[in-house]
Amino acid sequence: MKKSHLTLIAVVLLIFAIGFFLRIGSAYVTGTPVDEKSFVLDENNLPYMYELDSYYNYRLTNNYIEHGYMGDVIIDGREWDMHSYAPSGVPLDYPPLIVYLTAFIYKFINLFTNIPLLVVCFWISAFIAPLAGVVAYLFTRRLTNEDGAVVAGILTVLAPFYFIRTVSGWFDTDIFIILFPLLVVWIFWEATINESPKKALIFSATAGFIMFLFALAWNGWQYYFYLMTFFSILWVLECYIRGKPVKQFIKVFLTFIGVTLILLTVTTGFLSLLKLLYGPLEFVKLSGSQSPWAPWPDIYLSVNELAIPTIEGIISGVGFALFGGIFGLIWTLRILLSEKLKKTYLKSMNLFLYIFLVLWTLTGFLALFKGSRFIMIMIPPLAISTGIMVGLCVDYLDSLKNNKSPNKFLSIFRKNEYLTHILALVVILIVIIPSVANVMKTLEMPPGADDNLWDSLEWINYNTPNNTVVFSNWPAGHIITSIANRSVSLDGRMAYIETVQSRNLDNAYPYGVKSPTTAREYWIGRAFSTSDENLSAGIFRMLATSGDMTYLTLDEYTHNTTRTVEILNNILGLNKAAARDLMLNHYNLSQIQTEKVLSYSHPDNTTPYVIWTYTQMVDKGFWIFHFGDWNFEKNSGENYTYTFAGIQREGNLISSPTGLTIDLENGNATYKGQVPYCVIRSDRVNENKIYLNKSSNFCVIILFDESQMIVIDRRFENSLYTKLVLEGLNTTNFKSMYKNNSTAVWHCV
């Protein structure tokens, strides 16, 4: 075997090993104290998943293994997920590649041994994600020297935002988001430069096939499809204007498009093609100032990864490649503008690929306005560009060995043959070491669940009727459906925004954009934020039994969502007779309309439900109050006071780094120099409340068991959220069925 081949294999293994072994470090939960580690390890002695969305993919994979399709049932030839968006369920619309791949690996491994599916799901990211670095290396190797290519590969596998979302225990589609775009762009570029028309078409068809696989892997594949389509059309126009031959390029482009669309249509149906073509029009609508569900609150505002990132967030997410990549793009342009320099340093690089890398990078920057999640789009072009930059540095240093300059400094390089190699190594290490240091810090994150969460969800599974609906906040939805095996009203897919662009084309969505809807977040938030327990019980009963039907039906009569919300808030806490009287005599609905609404709001046969609370819900309190007390006339929520922090106790004195001071002996309390309206002390068994300042607008809650304090707006001092989530106390209407140190299951008595 040639030395060059051995080098290639060695580097590929090195890049894969770096990505793999650093990722499996998450299995050691290094950020958790040794005496607490067993608490965050499951029955397989592995950490619980780091991201709760992982349990959604686990559940779908388990379905596929058990009965051959990802959904729970098949209705009219369509797979439906009946665990999500209860009680109606939703047509399953999810890229299946992660499920197919995991199921195949699970089946294959279990031919030789007995490994639980959850274990396979835990480890799979560490095996797939490093492949992106290998592809980045092979791609960049075509453009620059070995050193630059190695840097591009390592920076790709260690890009902080990509790394954290692809460690072991993060079982999600992120493992494909860099791998497939790199493959598609690389092979498509090879097709454009290949001098053999036959080979060019083969390359193009291969790129189309990989784009099809990408469509099965991630809903955001359309970004890349339209990016490549838009750029190719511009390139054809530019070549035509300048009189350059474009016939072969057009063949390559049409082959790529044709293979992608044909495979997509044949395997997933004509609707997928319509969704792709219809997508840009709907994207424009979704990018407007109002959400498609207005005046219902936009739940997606509460998703951290959909918030516009800060400059610091972008830098920490991309890593060194952000600066190295931008500098590399500038330097590359300088080289390409000189024919002599191009032949010396970048023989394979052409203007087509350079402009595409620039456009790719700009697209990534623009996508950041849709959320930090799209940092992923920026990583590949910037990593490649950084690799080219390092390659140019190394080539330049290498050229100093043969310089004939009389300059004493430059003569050092002629006399010391290894000096350039040492400096080249220094350049590489300067680029790589910060990336390694960054990812080591990220491995200190805690798992997303623990024994208490798991035990309480298993209790629900074994002790509640199969048709029970579980209410909690949306981030916990996927682990509830997976482990408790019960339906939820709302989960991590929320209002299924991915399907909005095509609902008008799909008869499985009879209400179009109106259902699924973000209205669920309002009603669940309303139930938690009110102190009227009868209203809370009425809301939960309505959602568990009839889902969206009550407000969808009432909206047809009022033609005014604000009016609909007012009516429901006034009747859901009443008994059926009182609610009927109010709608007939106060809101002037007809008898038929009233009875129709009551059949959904106050059903005769109700679906059982439970409320599941856990300590991490404290993090979401602001959004529960923000959405639950939504102002429909203004189409906005209030920025209510809501802060939480740890506390320190020294004797009778309690303090927090946020400015809280409480003297337990005399009851005096201040927060940032102000005396609160009330102070609530709770140990999850008893409540002690004292009122201090009638003119103040906030209360302080002290949770001794959690060593935590929460500052809330005074209007929520007696809210269901305060009682169940923060204090963990039984109320008049809601009693605990099960409790442990950090979770509770509640039912309405």
Tens of pLDDT, residues 506-534: 889 999 989 999 999 999 999 999 999 99
What is the overall mean pLDDT for the chain? Answer: 92
Among 21-25, 52-56, 254-258, 659-663, name the one with the lowest average pLDDT.
Answer: 659-663
- The count of other CB atoms within 10 Å of the CB of residue 693 is 16
Torsion, CA 704, CA 708, CA 714, CA 716, rounded to 10:
-90
Residue 402: pLDDT over 70:
no
- The count of other CB atoms within 10 Å of the CB of residue 590 is 11
Q: Which long-range CB contacts under 8 A does 232-236 form with residues at least 24 apart?
A: 235/352, 235/355
| Residue 54 to residue 449: CA distance in whole angstroms | 11
Higher confidence at residue 425 or residue 735?
A: 735
Q: What is the pLDDT of residues 78-133, one digit of tens each?
A: 999 999 999 999 999 999 999 999 999 999 999 999 999 999 999 999 999 999 99
Nearest Cα neighbor of 646 from 703, 696, 608 is 703
| Residue 252 to residue 336: CA distance in whole angstroms | 24
Q: What is the pLDDT of residues 199-226, one digit of tens each?
A: 999 999 999 999 999 999 998 899 899 9
Residue 278: pLDDT over 90:
no
**Domain extents in the chain:** 3-22+129-442, 451-612, 637-748
- Compute the residue count for the chain: 749
pLDDT of residue 441: 80
User: What is the longest distance spanned by two Cα atoms in the chain?
Assistant: 102
CA-based end-to-end distance of the chain: 76
| Residue 449 to residue 590: CA distance in whole angstroms | 50
Q: What is the pLDDT of residues 494-506, one digit of tens each?
A: 999 888 878 888 8
| Residue 24 to residue 16: CA distance in whole angstroms | 12
pLDDT confidence of 413, banded at 50, 70, 90? Answer: low
pLDDT of residue 434: 81
Residue 279: pLDDT over 70:
no
pLDDT of residue 614: 96
pLDDT of residue 245: 84
pLDDT confidence of 683, banded at 50, 70, 90? Answer: confident
Residue 422: pLDDT over 70:
yes
